[in-house]
Amino acid sequence: MSLRRGCSVGALSGLALLAACAAPPPAPAPAPALAPAAAAPVVQIKPDPLPVTPVPVPQVVIVQSPPQPTPQQLSLPAAPPVNEEEQQALALLVDLQRYAVEAGEDLRRELAAANLALSRSRSDANRMRLAMLLTLPTAGPPDDARALSLLEPIVGRSGNASPMKQIASLLYAQITERARSVREEQRKTAVAQEKLDALRAVERSLLLERSRNAGGGGGGGGGGTGR
């Protein structure tokens, strides 16, 4: 019993010794930390820029196509350009048509304005406007002679028949025909007046002769009664 206890004690002592030998040595104490040294400034070295040659960029031109005409526009013929003289002729025709339907008071104002316009500018349009108004009885006493004198320089102008000359020639022909009709009416009126005056003269002569005859008969009858 004592031997077994001694062996056990010896075994335990040996195990303890082996454990002590097998344990790792203690770690050394850490050294005190040193203060970090000041970092040296970092200098960045910039390389020289390489020469860059610009690449030419071609200019972009945007071309817009014109609007395509509609089928209706394709079927219609293109209207010729209207020049200034044609525009004046169209405006003159509008005025002449307006004069034909305006009232007398409006036409008298138009006549005064036309006289003033002609005194400022003796243009063909101003001449024809005044000539037209001078033939309208509602604008004032007609003056065909002055109207024809205003149109004669335009009608007698040589060269191609322009729109203004065509209108002036038409007015001149109408006024001439009107003046001829007026003269014919005046001649007929004068002839009728002469006939009426002759009839009245005959009537007065007959009345005078009857009065004389009646007076002579009355005197003879009175004388016979007295005898």
- The 3 state secondary structure assigned to 91-137 is HHHHHHHHHCCCCHHHHHHHHHHHHHHHHHCCCHHHHHHHHHHHCCH
Q: Does 31 map to a domain?
A: no
Residue range 159-176: mean pLDDT, rounded: 86
Q: How far apart are CA 150 and CA 127, in angstroms?
A: 6
CB 155 within 8 A of CB 172: yes
* 204 has pLDDT over 80: yes
Residue range 209-217: mean pLDDT, rounded: 76
* 33 has pLDDT over 60: no
Residue range 161-174: mean pLDDT, rounded: 88
pLDDT band for position 18 (cuts 50, 70, 90): very low
* 4 has pLDDT over 50: no
- For tokens 């003046």, the residue is 179
For residue 172, what pLDDT is reported? 92
DSSP at 135: T
Q: Does 133 map to a domain?
A: yes
- When mean pLDDT is compared across 2-6, 44-48, 92-96, the lowest value belongs to 2-6
Residue range 168-173: mean pLDDT, rounded: 91
For residue 151, what pLDDT is reported? 93
* 215 has pLDDT over 80: no
CB 77 within 8 A of CB 85: no
Pick the residue with more confidence: 62 or 144?
A: 144
Domain of 178, in residue numbers: 85-183
For residue 152, what pLDDT is reported? 92
Q: Does 146 map to a domain?
A: yes
Pick the residue with more confidence: 134 or 217?
A: 134
Q: Does 9 map to a domain?
A: no
If we measure between CA atoms, which residue out of 169, 81, 181, 99 comes closest to residue 140? 99
Q: Does 107 map to a domain?
A: yes
Q: Does 77 map to a domain?
A: no
CB 176 within 8 A of CB 148: yes
On average, the pLDDT of the chain sits at 75
The pLDDT tens digits for 126-163 are 999 999 999 888 888 889 999 999 999 988 887 767 88
Tokens of 62: 């945007």
CB 164 within 8 A of CB 153: no
Q: Does 68 map to a domain?
A: no
Helices 124-134 & 163-226, crossing angle to 10 degrees? 20
Q: Does 46 map to a domain?
A: no
Pick the residue with more confidence: 103 or 68?
A: 103
Burial label for 83, CB within 10 Å (0-12, 13-18, 19+), is exposed
Residue range 31-51: mean pLDDT, rounded: 57
The pLDDT tens digits for 72-125 are 666 656 666 667 778 888 888 998 888 888 888 889 999 999 999 999 999 888
* 24 has pLDDT over 70: no
For residue 47, what pLDDT is reported? 63
If we measure between CA atoms, which residue out of 61, 86, 52, 54 comes closest to residue 162? 86
Structural domain total, the chain: 1
CB 136 within 8 A of CB 107: yes
